[in-house]
Amino acid sequence: MASFAWKVTILGRMRAIAIFRAEKKRLDSKMGSALEGAGQAIMSTSRAIYVPVATGQLMGTGRVGKASKHSGNWEVEMMYGGQGVAYATNVHETNRSYGGGRVWKYLTTPAQSFNYDSYMVGQYLNPTSGIGSTSSQNITAAANPSAAADASSVAGAFGLGG
């Protein structure tokens, strides 16, 4: 039978709140760059495997926006299209196979299969990570971190506020 020893250090409520807030701020500051990195990884997969290529013009319009925070959630916009490729949305939304294994839903497919949780936890745990037109196909990936390392949920669980 295994035995466990626990050591509890009481810092005081205000000190604990300060520690949780500092950790939340540190993690939050990394979230934007981590989510942009996830967007770049999805875009790379989209270009390499999914987006149809006839002339390469559509592939060349793929881009990832800057991450921003809205209502407590981080978002990054990934898109194809723009001037000269008004057909981007039509190609993305028309159920059809293209040559060389390229497919419709060329941005949705890699975004849906991307493992956000593993990627984001890896970014949190890695201390060195630093990491259109109206015809554009826009897909937004939102992340609201739920990893155990999220200090705001830990602080909330202890009634310390976030």
Q: What is the rounded CA–CA span in Å between residue 50 and residue 10?
A: 54
Which pairing describes strands 68-70 and 73-80: parallel, antiparallel, or unpaired? antiparallel
Paired with 140 in beta bridges are 77
pTM exceeds cut of 0.75 = no
Q: 41, exposed or middle or buried, with CB in 10 Å at 0-12, 13-18, 19+?
A: middle
Is residue 141 a contact partner of residue 78, using CB atoms and an 8 Å limit?
yes
Bin 100: left if φ > 0, else alpha if -120 < ψ < 50, else beta.
left
Banded model confidence at residue 5, pLDDT cuts 50, 70, 90: low
Given a cut of 80, whether residue 69 has pLDDT beyond it is: yes
Is residue 95 a contact partner of residue 52, using CB atoms and an 8 Å limit?
no
Q: 62, exposed or middle or buried, with CB in 10 Å at 0-12, 13-18, 19+?
A: buried
Of all residues in the chain, what percent carry a pLDDT higher than 70? 67
- pLDDT, one tens digit per residue, over 135-158 is 333 333 333 333 333 333 333 433
